[in-house]
Amino acid sequence: MRWWLMLSLLCSVHAMAAIPNWYAAAGGTDYQLTAVQGDVQSGEGAQLRLTAVAARTAPFGAASAQLDAVFLRGQSLLLSGVLATSNASQGATLWMRADDAHGKRLAFESSQIDPVGGTTRASRSIALQVPMDAQKVFIGVVLRGDGALDVSQLRLTAKPLADAASASAILDIAIPAIREHALHSARIDWTTREPQLRAQAANMREVDAYVAIDALVAQLDDGHSFLMRPSRRRNVEAVAQREPPAMQARLLSSGIAYIDVPGLMASSRQVSSAYETSLATALDQVAVQASCGWLVDLRHNTGGTMWPMINGLHALLGNVALGSFVDAAGKQSPWRARSTPRSTSSPDGLQTNRPVAVLIGPRTASAGEMVAISFRGRANTRSFGQPSAGQTTGNRSVELPGGGVLAIAASSTQDRNGHRIDGRLQPDVLLDPQIEATEAAARWLRTQGCAPSK
């Protein structure tokens, strides 16, 4: 064997075997990183502890380690570990990121869809495909809010990447979909960009096609379009299947009922149907007692699929057009809620005569905002809280070869009265973050009168 080839191989082994150093990547002095031991590339893995200090002001803390990506290009990385939390108010997650030589993010994965919170112990894993232009790979853990996190058996393994689809096949679907349907398609110079991508596709790996699509989405700059890579999609679907929705309405006080409407990230018809039925049944169960109205909480609804949400709320929304999507050509497509088949029949039928207070906030996003828009213009209805996230366009989902999905902001929206929605939703009653929105909304409901008891 030639000496230079032997030296190259030895350098490769050394670079891959080097033990990465852990450091506090976020949170400043509000989070303490301690008890760091071991190597993520060994069989035993690494361990560490991340703790929030009592008087913290930072929203989260993170610990990270950096690896040279040169010898990981074209590899599929798996980061796994056991996360043991103690009084973790907002949960803990794993994450990985690949950057190019200029520090630009090329790929990112996180277990944020499935955080470990409270006081518990659970295993988590995420996978990342390393693009061919990657220069650095970062791995890490995040602790949000208060509490402590002990991570053990934290391992990083790599294996050659097997493409599930060719880059050309993926781009053959993605490019025309973005060009023809994106609201801001004109922001991309297609006469230059498309020929470039077509020429480069022959030498691309699957993961590089995703990097190219991410770049196109960034050029759209609409704040809502996104690419969900196959590994991320599998994780999302697995969590939705494992944790079926189980919503329950409750009475806050005499005659006033409360329902929390969470987000739903799932394409499974079975999961969507279960969500819809659970929400509709929850409304049924306290319909008679809710004579003075409903408090619909969307503050934690970060989006997903809007149809199970509005269908589950059919009893409050009724059969009218609730809003419209308007495409780039001006074509309007109204949306409506439909009644949901369920095991319990509603004892009170439609509740469209009941007053409704809708709670929104900065985490109310995408489909959550569509639900909020669906209540706009409804009689005896008022929204409370803070401005929403601002993802108020309608997304068009495009299935990609290999299992990814591309969501394209393809339409603007307007409410049932034809008022166009641009950006963040402003609540009818803007509240300071320190004011309890639930109580403020309940006070208003008490002034609206109650339906006569039956």
Q: Are residues 336 and 292 in the same domain?
A: yes
Can you give the pLDDT at residue 452?
66
Q: Are residues 400 and 259 in the same domain?
A: yes
Q: How far apart are CA 178 and CA 407, in angstroms?
A: 9
Can you give the pLDDT at residue 161?
84
- The answer to whether the CB of 210 falls within 8 A of the CB of 134 is no
Can you give the pLDDT at residue 1?
39
228 found inside a domain: no
Q: Are residues 133 and 259 in the same domain?
A: no
Query: To 10 degrees, the CA torsion angle through 220, 224, 226, 228?
Result: 180
13 found inside a domain: no
Q: Are residues 293 and 262 in the same domain?
A: yes
Domain limits for position 397: 238-446
Domain boundary among 145, 160, 175: 160
Residue 260, strand partner residues: 297
Q: What is the pLDDT along the chain (454 residues), one digit of tens a residue?
A: 333 333 333 343 334 446 689 999 999 999 999 999 999 999 999 999 999 999 999 999 999 999 999 989 999 999 999 999 999 989 999 999 999 999 999 999 999 989 999 999 999 999 999 999 999 999 999 999 999 999 999 999 999 988 889 999 999 999 999 999 999 999 999 999 999 999 999 999 999 999 999 999 999 999 999 999 999 998 888 888 887 777 889 999 889 999 999 999 888 888 999 999 999 999 999 998 999 999 999 999 999 999 999 999 999 999 999 999 999 889 999 999 998 876 444 444 688 999 999 999 999 999 999 999 999 999 999 999 999 999 999 999 999 999 999 999 999 999 999 999 999 999 999 999 888 899 999 999 999 988 765 4
Q: Are residues 37 and 63 in the same domain?
A: yes
CATH number of the structural domain spanning residue 263: 3.90.226.10
393 found inside a domain: yes
Q: Are residues 358 and 397 in the same domain?
A: yes
273 found inside a domain: yes
Q: Are residues 152 and 172 in the same domain?
A: no
Of 219, 215, 222, 225, nearest to 188 by C-alpha is 219
Domain boundary among 111, 131, 160: 160
Domain count, the chain: 3
Q: How far apart are CA 247 and CA 84, in angstroms?
A: 27
Phi, psi of 31 (to 5 degrees): -135, 135
Q: Are residues 311 and 427 in the same domain?
A: yes
Model confidence, pTM:
0.85
226 found inside a domain: no
Q: Are residues 148 and 190 in the same domain?
A: no
Residue 411, strand partner residues: 327, 394
Can you give the pLDDT at residue 343?
47
Residue whose entry in the numeric block shows the structure tokens 């005499």: 254
Q: Are residues 43 and 109 in the same domain?
A: yes
CATH number of the structural domain spanning residue 40: 2.60.120.260
What is the H or E stretch that residue 3 is in?
helix 3-17
Contacts for 335 with CB less than 8 Å, ≥ 6 apart? 310, 321, 322, 323, 324, 325, 370, 374
- The answer to whether the CB of 80 falls within 8 A of the CB of 124 is yes
Tokens for 395?
């997304």
Q: Are residues 295 and 334 in the same domain?
A: yes
